[in-house]
Amino acid sequence: MRYWKTGMMALGLLPLALSQAFAGEAKTSTTDPTAQYQAAGSPLAGVEMHQDINPKAPPMTKAEFDKARNIYFERCAGCHGVLRKGATGKPLTTDKTLAAGTDYLKVFIKYGSPAGMPNWGTSGELSDDEVDLMARYIQQTPPQPPEYGMKEMKDTWKIIIPPEKRPTKKMNDYNISNIFSTTLRDTGEVALIDGDTKKIISVVKTGYAVHISRLSASGRYLFVIGRDAKINMIDLWMEKPDNVAEIRVGLEARSVDTSKYKGYEDKYAIAGSYWPPQYVIMNGDTLEPLKIVSTRGLTVDTQEYHPEPRVASIVASHFKPEFVVNVKETGKTLMVDYSDITNLRSTEIGSARFLHDGGWDSSKRYFMVAANQSNKIAAIDAKDGKLAGLVEVGKIPHPGRGANFEHPKYGPVWATGHLGDDTIAVIGTDPKGHKQYAWKQVDTLKSQGGGSLFIKTHPKSTHLYVDNPLHPDPKVSQSVAVYDVKNLKAGYTVLPIGEWAGLKDDGAKRVVQPEYNKAGNEVWFSVWSAKNKESAIVVVDDTTLKLKTVIRDPRLITPTGHFNVYNTQHDVY
């Protein structure tokens, strides 16, 4: 291959040959749901970084460098990493890019590849000039964003209402346990919606593109974290729930949670960052940063040093005073003991690289976490602090929290959908009562297609809901599949959620994240369109699978994730 490439470059034919090779695939590359998901923008796009002039690289002006840097962090860093060392995508370090040369890189960027590289040029996402710009940029020395330590965190830390000045009892009439925290992705807000009346209680300013909402053990405080690493702490006891503290824990982040073990309720909060690669333990009622720990280290498989292993997800153990911290690129789960944060101890559990999100099994002993680009699910035993099992599943598992239900043959199981294929993996989770099925994929369901982000059921329901918001077919992305868990062989029923929303414009109407109410008899769906298009929340009766109501409000701009207070507080899914 190397000699073929060299000869073709000498003849000046490489761009033509590659364009012909990739042209057939290029027409569909960016419709691939995996590529869409991984290419999501990074808040680092706007961070100033030093340009290190590399004499071997093609020349770039400061203006060109800054423009290319913005494009890279908006479209490429999610796959190739902040430092271009490779993440879910291949490394783009200068030893590789300089050897490839500008012409080769331009063709690759323009046409993409069958392996999943988007066709940035032929899709119209980048102009020819921008393709040329990016080909030259990735031959430059990768700029490194600034670190973010205790000083930087404390500079952003604000106690808006001190604990001693907060209400001593609930000051409103809301049924707090049935409130939904709904991410308004592109406005940097969350909408708090009354699950009983279906009315918006308030819209609270937060960080950009809130990734998750989590509850304190008491259920009083709501914690949300944006992709820009800003955490907001919202007091649900206030007459009108609002922020009481905030902090920025890095430059990009995804995860936050609070201590839940008996005797430590509401004492600590924890957040993990994508950049810098680290986590921080904070005071649970003020968000004061107390302890920062780096996650840089060696990968679980090849034992090679990785400079930016991102903290992907964090949950609080119910068995010990520990946080379960999942580190993406190294493939390690850290059981962080918060009983003595001065003399902090953690147990390192290796499973598979590219750990992402997951949820507890029905016993809340085993954390089921997706190693998404490894196509595996790891079962982490929170009681014994060990890897209980590692299960091969479909392409790019993306469970959200996953779904627990009782299978008529295999007993307690946990399920995940996939970004990259049309299957649902069902995994046995009962090593005591059904030992022969534990930590094995015991069943495979066929779904509407790939592009699934969330799967959900409820202990009081017999239904299993699967979304496909990143599927290229609007009929699929605007609907949801429903299974009867007592009769899985019957297949699924399709609910036209996007159509039920009754929106008048031509927005994308992606249906995302089924979420039950506290009672388990309603399921809420976000109908997610662009910032300048109308969106909505659709509520379905879980018993009849009929439309119950549609929540429309001009403040519901790009709603995505929504989290019921009770279910999130108690890990019900």
- Count CA atoms within 13 Å of residue 377 on its CB side: 34
Give catalytic status of residue 398 as yes or no.
yes
The answer to whether residues 509 and 527 touch, using CB atoms and an 8 Å cutoff, is: yes
What phi-psi label fits residue 365: left (phi over 0), alpha (psi between -120 and 50 degrees) or beta?
alpha
Close Cβ partners of 175 (under 8 Å, ≥ 6 residues apart): 194, 195, 196
Catalytic residue (choose from 60, 79, 134, 233): 79
CA distance 54 to 17: 29
Look-up: residue for tokens 């569909």?
A: 28
The beta-carbon contacts of 287-290 under 8 Å, at least 24 apart in sequence, are 287/157, 287/159, 287/231, 287/233, 287/245, 287/246, 287/247, 288/157, 289/150, 289/153, 289/154, 289/157, 289/247, 289/249, 290/341
Residue 441, amino acid: Q
The answer to whether residues 265 and 216 touch, using CB atoms and an 8 Å cutoff, is: yes
The secondary structure element, H or E, covering residue 475 is helix 474-477
Catalytic residue (choose from 76, 134, 335, 368): 76
Catalytic residue (choose from 211, 306, 398, 418): 398
The answer to whether residues 573 and 403 touch, using CB atoms and an 8 Å cutoff, is: yes
Give catalytic status of residue 50 as yes or no.
no
Q: What totals of helices (H) and strands (E) does the chain contain, helices first? A: 12, 35
Give catalytic status of residue 60 as yes or no.
no
Catalytic residue (choose from 80, 211, 306, 418): 80
Catalytic residue (choose from 153, 282, 335, 356): 356
Q: In what order do the strands lie in the sheet with 522-528?
A: 510-516, 522-528, 536-541, 546-551
- In Å, what is the CA distance from 27 to each residue of 66, 71, 123? 29, 21, 7
Give catalytic status of residue 117 as yes or no.
yes
Give catalytic status of residue 471 as yes or no.
no
Q: Could you list the active site residues?
A: 76, 79-80, 117, 356, 398
